[in-house]
Structure 1
Amino acid sequence: MTYTETDIVTTVEQLTGASLSALPRTQWEDIDQFHAGGSEAIERLIPHLALTAGATALDVGSGLGGPARQIARATGCNVVGVDITTAYVEAAQALSDAAGLAERTRFFRSDIGALGHTGFDAAYTVHVQMNIEDKKVFYSEIARRLRPGARLAIFEVCRGADGELALPLPWSLDGTDSHLVTADELRDTVQSSGFTLLDWADESTWARQWFDDLGRRLAAGTAPATLPALLTDGPARMLNFAVATATGAVTLHRGAFTVTA
C-alpha cells in the first residue's frame, strides 16, 4: 500500500509552526496539491470544467483537497471529493474547515464504484489513474455519475519512452500498484468509457519547468513546508518523478471530455 501516511494535520502544523487556521493560502499550496504543477495545473483545468456558481463537481481521488478548494473558490461551485485513504480524507476536511470552505467542499472515504451520488455537473482526476489497473471500468463509473452533457477534465501521468522507472514514485513505492499506459492509450480508454474528446494537450515541457522551479525554491530554502515532507520517502519519490519527467520516461497530459449523448 503506497498511501500510508497518518496524522497529516499534526505534521503540517509541526512543519509550519502554525495552526491550520493561521496558515496563509500561499503556504497551503505547497502542501495540499498532490501532483506535478501544483495550483498552476488546476488553473489549466478549470476552464474546461465549465462550472458556474451553485454547480457540483466530483473530485475522484481527492487527496488532501487542494484542487477541490481551488476550484470551489475560482468558480463558486461545490465539490464532492472521494478518496480511498482515510488519513487524506480526514486531512482534506480539516483543511477545508480551516479555510472556511466546509460547506462547499466535502470529502468522503469511498471508491468511485461505491459512491451513491449521481447527477454531477463535472468531474476531474488529477494524477489518479496510474494506480488503476482497469481504467475503462474506472472512467465508466465516473461517466455514470455525471449528468448528460457534463464535463470531465483530467491531468494525468502516462508512460513515455521505454525504460525503467526509478522507485519509489509518488504513486508507487515498489511498483506493484503502478499501472501506467501511454497517452494515446489513456485518451482512447476514456473515450471508450462514455466520453467524447474536446481537448488533449501534452503538458510535459511545462511540467519539466515546474519541477526545475520547485528544485530551485527548495535549494534556496524558500519553500520549507512542502508536500514531500508529508510523504513516506517523499523527497526520493518527488526526485524520481522529476527525473522521469525530464528524461521522457513519463509524460503528463491534460484532457477535456464531455459525456457522450
Structure 2
Amino acid sequence: MSGTVSTHYDAPDLIARIEAALSDAGLSPETVTADVLAPIEEFHVGGRMATDTLLRDLNIRPADRALDVGCGTGGTSRHAAAQFDCTVEGIDLTDSFIRAGRTLTDWLKLDGKVALHCGSALDMPFETARFDLGWMFHVGMNIEDKQALFNEVFRVLKPGGRFLVYDIMRGEDETTPLTFPVPWAGSQASSFVRPPRQYDEALRSAGFAVTKSEPRRDIADAFFAQAASQASQPRPPLTLALIMGETARDKFANLKRNYEAGRIVPVAISCEKPI
C-alpha cells in the first residue's frame, strides 16, 4: 500500500515545474517567498489560514523540537519554524516531495531550522522521546493502520508532548461511498477515511489523553467560499495543479461535493502524552 500512496503523489519533476511557474511570473529561487509558495505547500483544507489557526493551539515555543508527520514538501514545517523560531523535522513517504522540499528549504534559507526525511510514519527513524510536540495535517486518509501510526507518534514524543491531528474524516453520512478522485486518492483502494471516534479510540489506545476533538466546518466553509470568490480572479503563480496534475480540478470538485453531501468533514483532535 505504501507504494500505491507514494505513486499517487509522486512528482519527480516538481522543482522544474515550480521554477518554470516562477519564471513565468517574473520570480526566481532568489526572490521567491514563503507566501508565494503557500498555495502548493499547505496541501490541506483551509491552507495557510488553517495552519495558522491550528498551530496556535499547540503553544509552540522557540526551544521546542517539533515533528511534522506526512510533511509533503515541508511547507507547514517551514512556516512553523519561521513563525515560532522552533526546529522542525518532517517525514513523508514520497521521495520526490522530500527532495523538492529540501530545495525549497534552501531557497528560503531555513535549512538550519528544518530537516526533512523520507520514510514511513509507521516506522520513523527517530529515537524514543525525541520531540516536544507534533502534528499531522491530512495524512491519516492514506494510512489504514491508524493504531500503528499513533503508537509510533506516541513513542517519539516526550512525556508531556502535545500532538495535533487535522484529517479528513467521515461526516454525518458514514455509509455512502465517496466520489473519486479526491486530492489524497484516485480510488477507494488507497483511501482510508474513518469517523472521528475511530481516531479517538486509536489515540487513547496508544496512550494519549485526548483533550479536544471537533469538526472544523468553519475552516472548510471559509476555504470553499474563498475558492469560489477567487474563481474569476487571476490565478497565483503557483497552484495545486503543479502537484495534483491534470485531474486537479476534478479532485477539488469531488472534495467539495463529498463535504457538502455530509460524507466527509475536516476534524481537529488535540491530545497529550501523559507525564
CA distance in 1, matches of 2:34, 2:88: 18
Structure 2 residue 162 is matched with structure 1 residue 156: no
1:52 is paired with a residue whose SS is coil
Q: Which amino acid aligns with 1:124?
A: W
Structure 2 residue 45 is matched with structure 1 residue 32: no
Matched residue, 1:111 = 120
The residue correspondences of 1:66-215 to structure 2 (distance < 5 A) are 66-112=75-121, 113-118=123-128, 119-160=130-171, 161=173, 162-215=175-228
Structure 2 residue 239 is matched with structure 1 residue 239: no
Structure 2: tracts of 5 or more residues without a match: none
The alpha-carbon distance between structure 1 residues 163 and 14, as it changes in their structure 2 partners (threshold 3 A), is: same
Mapped contact 1:218–1:224 kept (Cα < 8 A): no
Q: Which amino acid aligns with 1:16?
A: L
The alpha-carbon distance between structure 1 residues 205 and 54, as it changes in their structure 2 partners (threshold 3 A), is: closer
Give a deviation string over 1:162-212, Cα, whole Å, max 9, x none: 322221111111221111111222222222212101222210243122122
1:218 is paired with a residue whose SS is coil
Mapped contact 2:208–2:274 kept (Cα < 8 A): yes
CA distance in 2, matches of 1:50, 1:206: 20
Mapped contact 2:14–2:242 kept (Cα < 8 A): no
CA distance in 2, matches of 1:242, 1:228: 16
2:57 is paired with a residue whose SS is helix
State the Cα distance separating 1:7 from its structure 2 match.
Answer: 1.2
What RMSD over aligned residues (CA atoms) do the two structures have, in Å?
A: 1.6
CA distance in 2, matches of 1:219, 1:185: 40
Mapped contact 2:45–2:219 kept (Cα < 8 A): no
The alpha-carbon distance between structure 1 residues 216 and 152, as it changes in their structure 2 partners (threshold 3 A), is: same
Q: Which amino acid aligns with 2:162?
A: R
State the Cα distance separating 1:29 from its structure 2 match.
Answer: 1.1
1:58 is paired with a residue whose SS is strand
Give a deviation string over 1:34-74, Cα, whole Å, max 9, x none: 11111111112223323211211011100011111111112
Select between 22-31 and 134-143 the one with higher mean Cα deviation: 22-31
Of 214, 217, 241, which residue of structure 2 is paired with 1:228?
A: 241
Of 42, 50, 53, which residue of structure 1 is paired with 2:62?
A: 53
Give a deviation string over 1:66-106, Cα, whole Å, max 9, x none: 11111111211000000010010011111111111011011
Percent of pairs identical after alignment? 25
CA distance in 1, matches of 2:243, 2:124: 28
State the Cα distance separating 1:235 from its structure 2 match.
Answer: 2.0
Mapped contact 2:164–2:270 kept (Cα < 8 A): yes
Normalising by structure 2, we get a TM-score of: 0.90
Select between 244-253 and 225-234 the one with higher mean Cα deviation: 225-234
Q: Which amino acid aligns with 1:60?
A: V
CA distance in 2, matches of 1:69, 1:250: 28
Matched residue, 2:15 = 9
State the Cα distance separating 1:221 from its structure 2 match.
Answer: 2.0
1:220 is paired with a residue whose SS is coil
State the Cα distance separating 1:224 from its structure 2 match.
Answer: 4.5
2:230 is paired with a residue whose SS is helix
Structure 1 ranges of 4+ moved more than 6 A: none
1:176 is paired with a residue whose SS is helix
The alpha-carbon distance between structure 1 residues 215 and 9, as it changes in their structure 2 partners (threshold 3 A), is: farther
1:71 is paired with a residue whose SS is helix
